[in-house]
Amino acid sequence: MNNIIWSIKYKMGYQLKWAAWSLLSYVLIMFLLYYGLVKFSLINTGSGSFSYRLFVFVIVNFAWTMRFREDFNFLLTLSNTRSDIFKALTGVAFIFSAVFSILIVLEHLIVDRLNLIFQFDNINDPFHFLAPYATDHLFWQFAFFLMLSCCVSLVGLLLGSLFYRWGKRFTLFFWLFVAAIPTVFLPLLAWVLYHRGQLIQTITALGNFLRNFSLPVSAGFLLLLTIVFYLAAVLNIRKLPQQ
Q: Helix H segments across 40-137?
A: 57-65, 68-76, 82-118, 131-134
Return the pLDDT at 1: 64
213's CB contacts (< 8 A; 6+ apart) are 131
Report the C-alpha gap between 145 and 11 in whole angstroms: 22
CB burial of residue 150 (10 Å; 0-12, 13-18, 19+): buried
H/E stretch holding 139: helix 138-166
Q: CA end-to-end span of the chain, whole Å?
A: 25
Q: Do 48 and 125 form a contact (C-beta atoms < 8 A)?
A: yes
pTM: 0.87
Q: Tell me how far apart the alpha carbons of residues 98 and 104 are, in angstroms, rounded to a whole number.
A: 10
Break the chain into its structural domains and give their ranges: 2-237
Q: How confident is the model at residue 91 (pLDDT cuts 50, 70, 90)?
A: very high
What does the pLDDT look like over 121-178, one tens digit per residue? 766 777 777 788 888 889 999 999 999 999 999 999 999 999 988 888 888 888 898 8
Residue 228 sits at the vertex; the CA angle it makes with 72 and 67, to the nearest 5 degrees, is 25
Q: Report the C-alpha gap between 91 and 85 in whole angstroms.
A: 10
Q: Say if residue 3's pLDDT is above 90.
A: no
Specify the 3-state DSSP secondary structure of 40.
coil
